[in-house]
Amino acid sequence: MPIHNADIAAIFEEIADLLEIQGANPFRVRAYRNAARTVGEFGRDLAALLARGQALPKIPGIGPDLARKIHEIASTGKSSFLERLHKELPETITELLHIPGLGPKKVKALYDQLKVDSLADLRAAAEAGRIRELPGFGEKTERHILEALAVRTDTARRFKRPVAAQYAEALAAALRAVPGVTRVEIAGSYRRCRETVGDIDLLVTAPDSAPVMARFTGYDEVAEVLSQGDTRASVVLRCGLQVDLRVVPESSYGAALAYFTGSKAHNITLRKRAQARGLKLNEYGVFRGETSIAGATEESVYAALGLPWIPPELREDRGEVEWAERGPLPTLITRADLRGDLHCHTKASDGANTLREMAEAARSRGLEYLAITEHSQRLRMVHGLDSARLLKQMDEIDRLNAELSGIVLFKGIEVDILEDGRLDLPDEVLGRLDLVIGAVHSQFDLPPAKQTARLLKAMDHPHFTILAHPTTRELDKRPPLEADWLRIIRHARERGCYLELDSQPDRLDLLDTWCRVAKEEGVLVAINSDAHSVHDFDDLVWGIGQARRGWLTREDVLNTRPLAELRPMLARTM
């Protein structure tokens, strides 16, 4: 069975979790986490390369030991090291890590002090009020755990979109190879660029559905066939992802694509609109009586309802139909609109590549400028820069700018925002930079009023440029900061600074809803990769999807500006 990069990454991530729960060396844990991220986002299928007899490509952070483990996983689908770790810890303990707010350190504390090693134990301890007594937890954390457990009971597993992509795109490619197939489209929340995906909807057009069904249900990653008919089937893949298939004729393709793209709320609004015009809308087309008047294309379906085509990312019933009725919808941003990236890391802090390698990789992706923004000194675990090291790097950037052509490097820093709102480096150093990105990396559970005041004070700093990954949320791991986000966005407008949309698949922060508020309030958003390796610039595509869900156009995004226009915009905030 095929092994995807996401499968290898998942094993490395689980190894890191178990090692951290055991209290292993932090640098060893970090090596596995970095490997999981690098492999998971690597642009080439590693298992496929190895199966063809090719050598493992040179990957930053992957030494001989990790390379051997990649070979083992690619050939067997398993890791003997992970199996050994599982024997040393309770089998169910990793379930605790799926509860938002419970990282390995807290899971270790729960296990060591309360003997909690399963979700059932966790619920019992929380309901008995024993968790609040542990150092670093408290009543609020205990309440959040109970809330998360309640939600988990009612919610199916969701996959981050980039992970779902590896399985969905491979299956779609297999179906495209079936003789007679003319189109294969991944619909549903995946097409709407939701940050996580509950299942995959595949739409296929073909004159004969039987070969498609045989290929789909016989696909080598299928673990279970849930249902199968002449034109529809549902399966569960080995990774746990459910995939639903529908084979339709060309005459219904557009209507079916609109229907299976959703969202449910958007579709209901369209059906009501059709009914008000004496029409019937379903997955087969738009009908007046028994006569089909549209359905071959999505454009024809929307036109029959008196609307222009609405981009999939906007189909959430958040006013898109009313907007389209009044006039043209915004022309949403595309990856080609980005001229640069204003947030990345090198080997000087916790990145995997040199300054030159990052610059050349950004240039190869068509970027014209790149901001080098290492972590600041407070983050010692990731080798954050103090004033002396930052000044030294600034000189290195000047020298490299004198040599490079086709790309310009900005001197920056991702400076820690301390609990009281101060920044982690002195003014005389920050003032010499081209831009200062402020970020929260600690004290996530401050009361909302105090968290808001912290961010407002940081933004008032005369050298503050961009608020990095503003809510600090990490999908499946950490919820957004509790703060007055409307006030923060309006303060950014008054102060003349900007907000980041961090494209890392684990973050996708700013959230789409706050992106739209920023747009409405006139605050520009910087779509950045937060790259830690040369491969991470490819993550910008995920940020673009999030930005499109937030209704952002190129005019709403800071780093769509050409260099000559951007420089004075950065200087105004300094």
Domains of the chain: 5-154 (1.10.150.110), 160-326 (3.30.460.10), 335-572 (3.20.20.140)
Host H or E run for residue 317: none
Confidence of residue 92 (pLDDT cuts 50, 70, 90): confident
pLDDT band, residue 154 (cuts 50/70/90): very low
Residue 573 pLDDT class (50, 70, 90 cuts): low
Pairing of strands 285-288, 291-294: antiparallel
Contact indicator for 209, 231 with CB cutoff of 8 Å: yes
Q: Determine the average pLDDT of the residues in 532-548.
A: 95
pLDDT score recorded for residue 476: 80
Q: What is the pLDDT of residues 446-491, one digit of tens each?
A: 999 999 999 999 999 999 999 999 999 998 888 899 999 999 999 9
The whole-chain average pLDDT of the chain stands at 93
- Rounded distance, CA 189 to CA 135, Å? 40
Nearest Cα neighbor of 123 from 110, 140, 106, 136 is 110
pLDDT computed for residue 156 by the predictor: 59
pLDDT band at 334 (very low <50, low <70, confident <90, very high): very high
Using 50, 70 and 90 to split pLDDT, how confident is the model at 80?
very high
Beta strands in 350-480, from DSSP E residues, in sequence order: 369-375, 408-416, 435-439, 466-467
% of the chain residues with pLDDT over 90 = 74
23 phi, psi to nearest 5 deg: 85, 30
The average pLDDT across 226-252 equals 95
Do 378 and 423 contact (CB within 8 A), yes or no? no
Question: Can you say how many angstroms the Cα of residue 343 is from the centroid of all Cα atoms in its chain?
Answer: 16
Question: For 74, phi and psi rounded to 5 degrees?
Answer: -65, -30
Distances (CA, A) of 117 to 12, 104, 113, 123, 150: 21, 12, 11, 11, 18
Task: Give the whole-angstrom CA distance, residue 382 versus residue 203.
Answer: 45
| Separation CA 191–CA 185 (nearest Å) | 9
Question: What is the pLDDT averaged over residues 94-117?
Answer: 83
Residue range 267-294: mean pLDDT, rounded: 96
Q: Which residues of 181-206 are buried (b: 16+ CB within 10 A; e: fewer)?
A: beebbbbbbbbbbbbbbbbbbbbbbb
Conformational region of residue 180, where left means phi above 0, alpha means psi within -120 to 50, and beta covers everything else:
left
Is residue 442 very low, low, confident or very high in pLDDT (cuts 50, 70, 90)?
A: very high
Separation CA 365–CA 369 (nearest Å): 11
Distances (CA, A) of 498 to 316, 435, 469, 516: 26, 11, 11, 14
Q: What pLDDT shows up at residue 152?
A: 61
* CA distances, 445 to each of 20, 448, 451, 460, 499 (Å): 22, 8, 8, 22, 21
Closest CA to 559 of 548, 573, 549, 570: 570
**Listed ranges 42-56, 127-141, 251-265, 370-384; the one with the highest mean pLDDT:** 251-265
pLDDT score, position 352 = 86
Q: Could you give the CA distance from residue 59 to residue 49 in angstroms, rounded to a whole number?
A: 13
pLDDT digits (tens, 9 = 90+) for 492-525: 999 999 999 999 999 999 999 999 999 999 999 9
pLDDT band at 165 (very low <50, low <70, confident <90, very high): very high
- Contact 241/199 with Cβ under 8 angstroms? yes
What pLDDT score does 551 carry?
98
pLDDT tens figures, 213-223: 999 999 999 99
* Section 229-246 average pLDDT: 94
| Cα 243 from Cα 167, distance rounded (Å) | 10
Residue 269: how many other CB atoms lie within 10 Å: 17
Digit-coded pLDDT (tens) for 365-422: 999 999 999 999 888 777 899 999 999 999 999 999 999 999 999 999 999 999 999 9
Is the pLDDT at 10 greater than 50? The verdict is yes
Least confident of 95-99, 309-313, 527-531: 95-99
Pick 570 or 143 by higher pLDDT: 570
Output 150 or 18, whichever has higher pLDDT. Answer: 18
